[in-house]
Structure 1
Amino acid sequence: MIEEQLKKQFQQIENNFNIAVISNKVDEIKKCITSDWVLVDSQGGIIPQEGFFKVLEQGSLTHSTMTKEILRVKVYGDIALVTGRGQNTGTWQGQPLEADEWITDVYKKENDQWLCVLTHLTPVKK
């Protein structure tokens, strides 16, 4: 039962993160992540948040939808590993973007709040 409660708790945390990302506003996203958060993906490798924020602020990258289904949560003290499947749509350099990915978010508990430290994306094989 504890596992189901954790999945529900982190589903809400991920939903809030999704809302922040589709706002396309750096200040909203910063409420969900640590100051050293990074994004890891198959095309860009390790992308520091400054690089991610830069393409958002320039409008090169936008998100219009984002969903995640949480499939697994493991908590180790103040660290949580959250794995699920996510889909999103938006634009990259003016072109439509659509992704279906396996997502692992690493969270750290800071001041009673779970903040994302790292997001790792792996495309779902079609």
Structure 2
Amino acid sequence: MTEDQLKQQFQQIEDNFNVALISNRVEEIKKCITTDWVLIDSQGGIIPQESFFYVLERGLLSHSTMTKEILRVKVYGDIALVTGRGQNTGTWHEQSVEADEWITDVYKNENEKWLCVLTHLTPVKK
């Protein structure tokens, strides 16, 4: 598979992940991630999925928009590293938030499906 084909494949996977995230529904998000997925960000450090789901289910966090432009994909057997730039909007404790971030998602191919194992976010320096 060429580099462009890989980018297209993972752009679709990331787009599906974005749709799941803006649904704010845990069951939809679980379709895109492994059972041990974690989120890493500059404010919360390593955030286990249980903590992420907790704030979603209680309405403390919600996403209304989310986009990612895939810039780099590297596949190593059943592991893929996908790096891009993403923007999102939503609310955190009823306050409007927006983010512009560098995003690296680590994927694992499980049963012929790519599932996200880890998402690492780094704010874009303004």
Q: TM-score band, normalised by the shorter chain?
A: over 0.9
Map 1:62-81 to 2 at 5 A.
62-81=62-81
SS at 1:119 equivalent: strand
- Cα offset, 1:46, TM superposition: 0.1
**Gapped runs of 5+ residues in structure 2?**
none
Map 1:88-103 to 2 at 5 A.
88-103=88-103
SS at 2:64 equivalent: strand
Q: Distance in 1 between matches of 2:57 and 2:3?
A: 38
- Cα offset, 1:77, TM superposition: 0.1
Map 1:39-78 to 2 at 5 A.
39-78=39-78
**C-alpha RMSD of the superposition:** 0.6
Q: Does 1:8 align with 2:39?
A: no
% identical equivalent positions: 83
Question: Quick one: which amino acid aligns to residue 70 of structure 1?
Answer: I
Question: Quick one: which amino acid aligns to residue 85 of structure 2?
Answer: R
What is the match of residue 125 of structure 2?
125
Question: Quick one: which amino acid aligns to residue 39 of structure 1?
Answer: L
The size of the alignment, in residue pairs, is: 126
Q: Distance in 2 between matches of 1:63 and 1:97?
A: 9
Q: Distance in 1 between matches of 2:95 and 2:123?
A: 19
Show structure 1 runs of 4+ deviating over 2 A. none
SS at 2:100 equivalent: strand
What is the match of residue 108 of structure 1?
108
- 1:77-97 deviation line (CA, Å, top 9, x unaligned): 000000000000000000001
**Gapped runs of 5+ residues in structure 1?**
none
Q: TM-score, normalised by structure 2?
A: 0.99
